[in-house]
Structure 1
Amino acid sequence: MDEPTIELDDYEVPFKGIVEQSIAGIYILQDGRFRYVNETFAHMCGLRRDQLIGARLGDVANPAQRAALLSQYERKINSRGPSERFIIRRTLPSRPGCFEIHGTRVMFHGRPAIVGVGIDITEQERQRTELVDAGRRLRELVSNANSVREKERNRVARELHDVVGGMLTALKFDLSRLARGIDAAQDRGALGATAVQALQLAQETIEAVRGISEGLRPGALDHLGLNDTLALEVSLFEQRYGIVARFCSSGCAFGLDRDTEIGIYRIFQEAMTNVARHAHATEVTVDLGWRSDGVTLEIADNGLGFGGDDQDLEGHHGLLGMQERARELNGILLLGTGPRSGASIKLDMPVRCEDILEEIGE
C-alpha cells in the first residue's frame, strides 16, 4: 500500500482556507523539527508560530514529558501504525492546561514526516479531576461515617451493658428479695404476683438490652471467631424471620484482625437485613470461604433480586455502605444473581500471609 503523501504547494489555497481557520491545532514534524503549525496549535503551546516553526521538538517539550514524547515520535516516524494519542501538559504559570495530540506518518516532500492535530482538553481534564476528587471525597466521607458509626455503636453498647444492664440487674436482685421476703399478710398473694411480674419484666428487659448490645457490638467475635459467629447468626436469623437459612464454611479458618472481622461481619449483617426486609425470599444461603490468599463471603437468596421493585428504595439498601466497607478491607463487592434467581452479594477479600502470621503471633 502506498504511503500517504502531502505536498503543500499543490493545495496551498484550500490548505490555508481550511487549516489556518481550524479550531483544532495542526502540525507537521519532520527530522525532529516543526515544519508547519497553524495559529491554533501555537496558541495551545503558549508560543508564537515563528517560535515553533523550525524549532526542535525536544527544545519546546515539557521537560517532564520530553523523553516520552521523543520516544513516541521516533517510534511513529519509523513505523506505519495507526494514529497514537499523547496528552501534553502545558506548564505556563499564566495559562496552565493540557492538550491532546494525534499524529500519523506521511511522506512530505519525499521524506517521512508526522502530521497531526492537537485538541485543547484543559476543561475536560479539569472536570475529570473534579469528578475523581469528588469520588475520593465521597469515599472518605463514607469511610469516616462508617468509622464514626462503629465508635458510636461501641459507646452505646458499653452504656447499655455497663449502666442500664447494671441497673436492671440490681432491680432484678431487689425484686427477688421482695418476692422471697413477703410475709403472710392478707395481700400476700397480690404482692407476690406483682413481684413476679416485675421480676419477669426485668428479665425480659435485660435480655432485650443484651440483644441490642450484641447487635451494636458483636461480642461473639471475641469469643467464637468469625466462622462460629456467622453460623450462630444464621441460625438465629432463621428462628427470628422464618426464612430457611443455611451456613456453609469451606477451607481452613484462620485468625483475622479485629477491624477486618468487624468489617466482614457488618457486610454480612447488612446483607441479611436486606434479605429480611426487602428480598421477599424464603431461603438464603451464606457461604464463607477460607483460602490461603484470602476470604470470600457470599450471601444468596431466592427472592426478588436486584431487578425487583424494591431496588429504588433509599440508598439501595445500604449497598454503598457495603461497597465502601469492602474497599476499606481492600476487597471487592460483587452484586449478581443467586443460583435460584434471587440476589447474590459476594465479598472477595485478599489476605496477605504476613497479616495471618502477625495475627497468630498476637
Structure 2
Amino acid sequence: MDEKEIQSFLIISSVVLFILIITMISLFILFQKRKNALILKNKFAEKHFEQEISKAQIEIREETFRNISWELHDNIGQLLTLAKIQLQNDSPVNEVKGTLDKCIKELRDLSKLISPDALKNMSLEQAVADEINRFNRLNFIESQLIIKGQQTKIDSKIEIVFFRILQEFFSNTIKHAKATHLDILLDYQTDMLIITAEDNGLGFDIKKQKGSGIGLNNIKNRAKLVNANATILSKPNKGTKLTITYKLNHESTYSSDC
C-alpha cells in the first residue's frame, strides 16, 4: 500500500470514527433526555398519587365527622330526651337505666371514630364492617358484609382509596337509591381482590348519567390511580352493583397514567 492509499485510509477511518462518536453522543443525549423525562413523569405521578390519597383521607374524615354530628344530634340526643321524659313521668328506674346505658354505649362507639389513631390505622375490613354495623344499628338500611378467602394485607394507601370509593357508593345508596338492602363482598382470591357492593334500590340508566350522579368517572379514576378497575352496573328499578378488581402484589402503588 503506497503513501497515498494510506492517507486515504486514515481519512476515511477518521471520518467513520467521527461519525460513530457523534452518533454515540447523540444517542447518549437522547437517552438522558428520555430518562429525565421518565423521572419527571414518575415524580409527577407520585405527587399526584399522594395528593389524591390526602384528598381521600380528608373526605373520609369529613364524612366521619358528619356522621358523628348527625348521631350526636339525632340518635344520642333522642336517647337523652327519652331519658328525661322517663324521669319526668316517674318511669321505673330500670327503664331509665336501660336508656342511659344505651346512650353510653353509643357515645363509646362514637369516641372510637373520633380517635385520630382509629381513623389512621383501621384496616379496610374493619372500616367497612364499622360502616355496615352503623347502618344496621341506626336502621338506615339492612346491610351485610361477607369476607371470602385468605385475607391479604395490601398497602394502607390503597385501602384508603378503596374505602373512599365504597363510602361514595354507600352514601348514594342511602341518600338516593331508596334501597332496603345492601350487600358487600370482599373476595380474596389467589392473586386478585374483588370487592363488590350491591343494593336493591331504584337504579339508573348508565347511558343517561354521562359521569354525573353517582360520580362514575370519579370512582373509575380513583380505582385507576391504584392500578385497580372499577365497573358499575345498574338498571332502573333493578338496583346498582359496584365491582372493584385489584391484582394483588402490584409492583407499584400508583399509576403513571393518571
TM-score band (shorter)? 0.5 to 0.7
Matches within 5 A, 1:74-89: none
Structure number with the higher strand fraction is 1
Give 1:126's aligned residue.
none
Q: Deviations 1:59-92 (Å, cap 9, x if unpaired)? A: xxxxxxxxxxxxxxxxxxxxxxxxxxxxxxxxxx
Give 1:330's aligned residue.
227
Match of 1:293 among 167, 171, 191: 191
Q: Deviations 1:89-136 (Å, cap 9, x if unpaired)? A: xxxxxxxxxxxxxxxxxxxxxxxxxxxxxxxxxxxxxxxxxxxxxxxx
Q: Deviations 1:13-41 (Å, cap 9, x if unpaired)? A: xxxxxxxxxxxxxxxxxxxxxxxxxxxxx
Distance 2:195 2:244 in 1: 5
Are residue 240 (structure 1) and residue 138 (structure 2) matched? yes
Match of 1:219 among 100, 114, 118: 118
Q: Is the 8 A contact 2:205 2:234 kept in 1?
A: no
Distance 2:49 2:126 in 1: 27
Q: Helix, strand or coil for the counterpart of 1:304?
A: coil
Distance 1:243 1:151 in 2: 25
Q: Is the 8 A contact 1:142 1:321 kept in 2?
A: no
Shift of 1:312: 5.3
Shift of 1:268: 1.2
Shift of 1:237: 1.7
Matches within 5 A, 1:164-313: 211=113, 213=114, 219=118, 222-223=121-122, 225-307=123-205
Q: Helix, strand or coil for the counterpart of 2:205?
A: coil
Structure number with the higher helix fraction is 2
Q: Helix, strand or coil for the counterpart of 1:346?
A: strand
Matches within 5 A, 1:31-110: none
Q: Is the 8 A contact 2:124 2:163 kept in 1?
A: yes
Q: Is the 8 A contact 2:187 2:195 kept in 1?
A: yes
- Give structure 1 stretches of 5+ with no counterpart: 1-138, 161-202, 356-362
Q: Is the 8 A contact 1:298 1:345 kept in 2?
A: yes
Give 1:349's aligned residue.
246
Shift of 1:251: 0.7
Shift of 1:228: 3.1
Shift of 1:232: 2.5
Shift of 1:206: 9.3
Shift of 1:306: 2.4
TM-score of the superposition, structure 1-length normalised? 0.38
Measured on the aligned residues, the alpha-carbon RMSD in Å equals 4.3
Q: Deviations 1:265-318 (Å, cap 9, x if unpaired)? A: 11111111111111110011001110121211111011111229xx75993223
Distance 2:251 2:46 in 1: 27
Distance 2:46 2:57 in 1: 16
CA 1:147 to 1:257, structure 2 compared with 1: closer, same or farther past 3 Å? closer
CA 1:155 to 1:222, structure 2 compared with 1: closer, same or farther past 3 Å? closer
CA 1:243 to 1:151, structure 2 compared with 1: closer, same or farther past 3 Å? closer
Match of 2:52 among 146, 149, 158: 146
Q: Deviations 1:305-345 (Å, cap 9, x if unpaired)? A: 1229xx7599322322211110011011111148x921001
CA 1:314 to 1:277, structure 2 compared with 1: closer, same or farther past 3 Å? farther
Distance 1:314 1:321 in 2: 8
Letter matched to residue 323 of structure 1: K
TM-score of the superposition, structure 2-length normalised? 0.52
Shift of 1:142: 8.7
**Identity value in percent:** 22
Bigger radius of gyration: 1
Q: Helix, strand or coil for the counterpart of 1:284?
A: strand
Q: Is the 8 A contact 1:227 1:253 kept in 2?
A: no
CA 1:275 to 1:140, structure 2 compared with 1: closer, same or farther past 3 Å? farther
Give 2:35's aligned residue.
none
- Give structure 2 stretches of 5+ with no counterpart: 1-44, 66-104, 253-258
Q: Is the 8 A contact 2:56 2:160 kept in 1?
A: no
> Higher relative contact order at CA 8 Å, sep ≥6: structure 1 or structure 2?
2
Letter matched to residue 222 of structure 1: N
CA 1:329 to 1:353, structure 2 compared with 1: closer, same or farther past 3 Å? closer
Letter matched to residue 55 of structure 2: R
